[in-house]
Structure 1
Amino acid sequence: MRVAVTDACIFIDLIELEMITSFFQLDLELHTSVAVINELYPEQKQILEAYKSVGKLHIHNLQEDDFLEMKQIAFPRGLSQEDRSVIYLAKKLGGAIVISSDKLVRDFAGKLNLPYHGIFWILDQLVSEGLIEKSKAIQILSEMPKINSMYQAAGLKREIEKRLALWN
């Protein structure tokens, strides 16, 4: 089982796109931080709390010594404390996968030689592992630009179109 650390934007998109149940069926040991959880709305927190209660999500409450260790990492200025906690946890957990839709997070994870992926990788995994049908994935792809304007950007539109062509 691969270990992965997830940020808030991924959780938000997975919940909005109704993929969260399938996501937690992937062969991943999923982690995040209290700081990330605190970025979510109460109903989103409640959904994730259910996965925590059955051992599917590990939520780390960083301590003072963790924050001291984090100060030793030359994070880019644009990274929030929550994003920093995701990268720190991935390092602390022995090179866990960073799962984020935030380019700055993924780029910095790459600089630290941490594996990283985003929402499209999750969708690819769900289809390849048979956790969702291609028809459902196509429906999700069409919903993405509606729930998050980020997916209207040219590069992300190409990712959507590539998968639409592959799964149609």
Structure 2
Amino acid sequence: MQIVDLEPGQVSEIYKLHREHRGLSYRDLSAFVLARDTQAVLVTGDGHLRMMAEKNGVECHGTLWVLDALVDAGILTGLHAADALKTMQANNRWLPKTECEARIRTWKP
């Protein structure tokens, strides 16, 4: 993770996009513009931002994808990932229930 400065043209575009997409914050739109312009993956759980990204050809993923990647890379054990997922669900984080249950069964023997 790193801090990146936006170019003046990008900042202007973010303000323009905000007028068109009132449901998205300046932070959301900054992440979108930066991901698009650097061909980075956008990670978000926001449905509106995800639809906008996909419509504009920006690769976009959510929490489950991040957990899958951490487990696959051996950075996080399946047991810890399952516990993290259960904690997120217990704290009212919206995640697809069926997909979460499948991962928990796979990760937690």
Q: TM-score per shorter chain, which class? A: 0.7 to 0.9
- 1:3-33 CA-to-partner distances (Å, cap 9, x unmatched) read xxxxxxxxxxxxxxxxxxxxxxxxxxxxxxx
CA deviations on 1:19-72 (whole Å, 9 max, x unpaired) are: xxxxxxxxxxxxxxxxxxxxxxxxxxxxxxxxxxxxxx2212335332223337
The answer (yes or no) to whether the contact 1:110–1:116 under 8 Å persists in 2 is yes
Partner letter of residue 29 of structure 2? R
Map 1:23-102 onto structure 2 (within 5 A): 57-70=1-14, 71=16, 75-93=20-38, 95-102=39-46
- Tell me the residue number matched to 1:167: 107
C-alpha displacement of 1:146: 2.4
| 1:157 positional shift | 1.8
How far did 1:73 drift? Answer: 8.8
Kept after mapping to 2: 8 A contact 1:75/1:84: no
Higher relative contact order (CA 8 A, sep 6+): 1
Work out the CA distance in 1 between the residues paired with 2:62 and 2:50.
Answer: 8
Structure 1 window deviating more from structure 2 (81-90 vs 134-143): it is 134-143
SS in 1 for 2:2: strand
Structure number with higher helix proportion: 2
C-alpha deviation, 1:108, in angstroms: 0.9
Out of 25, 44, 67, the residue aligned to residue 123 of structure 1 is 67
Instruction: For 1:85 and 1:96, locate their aligned partners in 2 and report how far apart those are by CA, in whole Å.
Output: 13
**Structure 1, unaligned runs of 5 or more:** 1-56
State the one-letter code of the partner of 2:93: M
Q: Over the residues paired in the alignment, what is the CA RMSD in angstroms?
A: 2.1
- TM-score normalized by the length of structure 1: 0.56
Task: Report the 3-state secondary structure (helix = DSSP H, G, I; strand = E; otherwise coil) of the residue aligned with 1:106.
Answer: helix
Aligned residues: 107
